[in-house]
Amino acid sequence: MQIGHIALPNRLFAAPMAGVTDRPFRQLCRRLGAGYAVSEMVTSRKDLWASLKTSRRANHDGEAAPIAVQIAGTDAAMMAEAAAYNVDRGAQIIDINMGCPAKKVCNKWAGSALMQDEPLALEIVEAVVAACAPRNVPVTLKMRTGWCESERNALRIARAAESAGVAMIAVHGRTRAQGYKGRAEYETVGAVKAALRIPVVANGDIDSPEKARDVLAATGADAIMIGRAAQGRPWIFREIAHFLATGEHLPAPEVQQAKAWLLEHLHDHYGLYGWDDAGTGVRSARKHIGWAVRALPGGEAFRAHMNTIDSCETQLSAVRDWFDDLAQAHQRLPDIPAPIEDDEMSFA
């Protein structure tokens, strides 16, 4: 699997998710089997680049290559400048966000709203490719099947993007109007794959090894991209890799191993967001802890308790103790599918 001249270790990708796929989460997914992970979206607004939020999103300290950054915006020149800005800060692949369904993004005509204006969408693609080509940086595109049921124009945009020089396209099998409701459809993904020469990635509702196998077979896609199903279960990548290679399932992780992964992730998380009591680090870690325990016995009660803790050290201690207690009853994590929640403001 390659994106332009860049070779990837496998065809299992972690999807960009705003507020989720920060550097610590990307590194965790990579350690647990993802061959590629894309950053949460970085704004093309230059006046926000110096903000703490954007500087954290553009932080790639210690991150394994290739470093992929997703940019979002509505102005071609600004998007080109944002691409160059992020390349200067370590990005080796630039991804254009044309898939985010969040209202706060689409109301500004960014994200999947761009699919309503095909000339503008193509202008942005051409500008970003022109900015990245001299630097030998591939450009990719993530989009939806269209704006709504009656406007499924992914195939048309994909063909134009390929002609403009995009190196890979990921398609989420829903329209913007669907958000994350209903089921993803893969016919459109398959049609895009059949029409293009560049790699095409299937995204949407891939939450098990069997589903990964079936989506690859149904679409002919070169790779799959997993988002919500990796929240709290980042080892899904290694589970899928093993299943695709052998046809057999890996045993569920041992409770103590899952605890070690989560604690390591939390240390990385606090390192990026801060160890201050009642600060961003402890608050933003709550969702990751909640996702990790929500489907486990006693998880909902612990999730509620976690929201009352305002110290990173106390949070770490509580997580350690809770998993130690769980290990008394279960050597391995119980085989309970984690629920996928709908939160259009959190996922891109």
Query: Which one is predicted more confidently, 146 or 242?
Result: 242
Query: What phi and psi, each to the nearest 5 degrees, are found at residue 173?
Result: -75, 40
Q: Is residue 339 part of a domain?
A: no
Q: Is residue 35 part of a domain?
A: yes
pLDDT > 80? residue 203: yes
Tokens 């945009």, residue?
A: 157
How many structural domains is the chain composed of? 2
- Residues 232 and 289 reside in one and the same domain: no
The pLDDT confidence band at residue 302, using thresholds 50, 70 and 90, is: very high
User: In the sheet that 139-146 helps form, which strands lie side by side, from edge to edge?
Assistant: 36-37, 12-14, 223-226, 200-203, 168-175, 139-146, 93-98, 68-72, 42-43
The pLDDT confidence band at residue 183, using thresholds 50, 70 and 90, is: confident
The three-class DSSP label of residue 43 is strand
Residue 195: which residues within 8 A CB-CB, separation 6 or more? Answer: 155, 158, 159
Q: What pLDDT was estimated at residue 15? A: 95
Query: What phi and psi, each to the nearest 5 degrees, are found at residue 111?
Result: 60, -140
Q: What pLDDT was estimated at residue 101? A: 53
User: Which tokens hold the place of 147?
Assistant: 């704006």
- Residues 215 and 306 reside in one and the same domain: no
Q: For 310-335, what is each residue's pLDDT tens digit?
A: 999 999 999 999 999 999 999 999 87
The percent of residues in the chain predicted with pLDDT above 90, rounded, is 75
**Mean pLDDT along residues 202-219:** 96
- Residues 233 and 262 reside in one and the same domain: no
**Mean pLDDT along residues 10-31:** 95
pLDDT > 60? residue 200: yes
pLDDT > 50? residue 347: no
Which pTM does this prediction carry? 0.90
- Of 227, 246, 265, which marks where a domain is finished? 246
pLDDT > 80? residue 338: no
Q: For 89-136, what is each residue's pLDDT tens digit?
A: 999 999 999 866 555 543 444 566 788 889 999 999 999 999 999 999
**Helix (DSSP H) and strand (DSSP E) numbers for the chain:** 13, 11
Q: What pLDDT was estimated at residue 154? A: 92
Query: What phi and psi, each to the nearest 5 degrees, are found at residue 174?
Result: -135, 155
Q: Which has the closest alpha carbon to 77: 30, 127, 151?
A: 127
- Residues 209 and 324 reside in one and the same domain: no
**What is d(CA 345, CA 340) in angstroms, rounded to the nearest whole number?**
14
* Active-site amino acid positions: 100
Q: For 32-82, what is each residue's pLDDT tens digit?
A: 999 999 999 888 888 888 788 888 888 889 999 999 999 999 899 999 999
- Residues 223 and 272 reside in one and the same domain: no
Q: Is residue 336 part of a domain?
A: no
**Mean pLDDT along residues 294-322:** 95
**Mean pLDDT along residues 190-206:** 97
**Mean pLDDT along residues 237-263:** 97
- Residues 179 and 61 reside in one and the same domain: yes
Domain residue limits at 104: 2-246
Please give the C-alpha separations between residue 215 and each of 45, 100, 168, 225, in angstroms, as whole numbers.
Answer: 36, 21, 18, 11
Query: What phi and psi, each to the nearest 5 degrees, are found at residue 257?
Result: -70, -45
